[in-house]
């Protein structure tokens, strides 16, 4: 059997100007480091959206990505954000704060999504539409859940109104019609995460670096082993 070695490092531990690491320049630099050091594996741990405590093993979904890992600089290149918008936030960022990283990035991603949806004729918008179609099986319910969670200020789903809690079709449909923009925001975030993760994974593979993930412990659904980016495979 061919022996190999690598390094375990969750992307949130990468350095940078943001409170936690992301899938941007430092992640690509880490791949370069692994390649030069003769390593062949990057073990990333689960990459799902985290719940209380922000442990990568405590996720809200086994399919969705952690949008706190999105590289905002790439969104400037994609013309979804202006550099000035990012800089105004970065200048006041605390160091190593998962709570602040999520809250501040969520606000910027909301602004980015508004810019994105105002340009429906672009190639990326067509790619977004295709992403939503290919992943509808989990994406629709996840985005609905997150939008509901926002609406009810993070309360457990067991405390939501009965019609929504029990997924009564007429109540769910009515709520979705009234909160389309909220659900679309989360669809956009997932699209961007997978777009950036796919780019990073392809770069790693071009350097003969395998990506090795793990299964979240508390997620209620099956782990992500395939999908648009085949995220946890080599």
Domain-located, residue 217: no
Q: To which H or E segment does residue 114 belong?
A: helix 98-117
Q: Does residue 54 come out as left (phi exceeding 0), alpha (psi in the -120 to 50 range) or beta?
A: left
Q: How far apart are CA 146 and CA 50, in angstroms?
A: 12
> Domain span at residue 61?
6-212
The CATH number given to whatever domain includes residue 126 is: 3.20.20.80
- The pLDDT, as a whole number, for residue 218 is 65
Read off the pLDDT of residues 22-50 as tens digits, 9 standing for 90 and up. Answer: 999 999 999 999 999 999 999 999 999 99
Domain-located, residue 161: yes
Domain-located, residue 16: yes
Domain-located, residue 229: no
- The pLDDT, as a whole number, for residue 231 is 39
Domain-located, residue 54: yes
Domain-located, residue 52: yes
Domain-located, residue 69: yes
Q: To which H or E segment does residue 211 belong?
A: strand 210-212
- The pLDDT, as a whole number, for residue 1 is 60
Regions in the chain scoring below 50 on pLDDT:
221-234
- The pLDDT, as a whole number, for residue 62 is 86
- CB distance 44 to 213 below 8 Å: yes
Q: How many domains, in total, are found in the chain? A: 1
């Amino acid at each position: 059997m061919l022996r190999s070695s690598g390094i375990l490092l969750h992307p949130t531990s990468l350095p940078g100007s943001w409170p936690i690491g992301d899938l941007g320049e430092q992640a690509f630099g880490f791949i370069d480091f692994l390649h030069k050091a003769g390593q062949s594996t990057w073990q990333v741990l689960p990459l799902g959206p985290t719940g209380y405590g922000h442990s990568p093993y405590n996720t809200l979904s086994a399919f969705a990505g952690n949008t706190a890992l999105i590289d905002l600089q790439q969104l400037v290149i994609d013309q979804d954000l202006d550099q000035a918008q990012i800089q105004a936030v970065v200048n006041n960022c605390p160091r190593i704060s998962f709570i602040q990283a999520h809250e501040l990035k969520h606000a910027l991603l909301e602004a980015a999504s508004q810019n994105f949806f105002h340009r429906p004729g672009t190639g990326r918008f067509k790619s977004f539409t295709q992403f939503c179609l290919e992943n509808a099986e989990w994406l629709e319910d996840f985005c609905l859940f997150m939008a509901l969670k926002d609406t009810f200020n993070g309360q457990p789903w067991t405390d939501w109104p009965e019609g929504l809690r029990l997924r009564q079709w007429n109540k769910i449909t009515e709520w979705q019609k009234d909160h389309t923009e909220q659900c679309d925001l989360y669809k956009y975030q997932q699209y961007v995460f997978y777009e950036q993760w796919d780019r990073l994974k392809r770069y790693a593979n071009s350097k003969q670096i395998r990506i090795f993930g793990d299964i979240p412990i508390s997620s209620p659904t099956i782990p992500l082993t395939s999908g648009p980016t085949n995220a946890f495979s080599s």
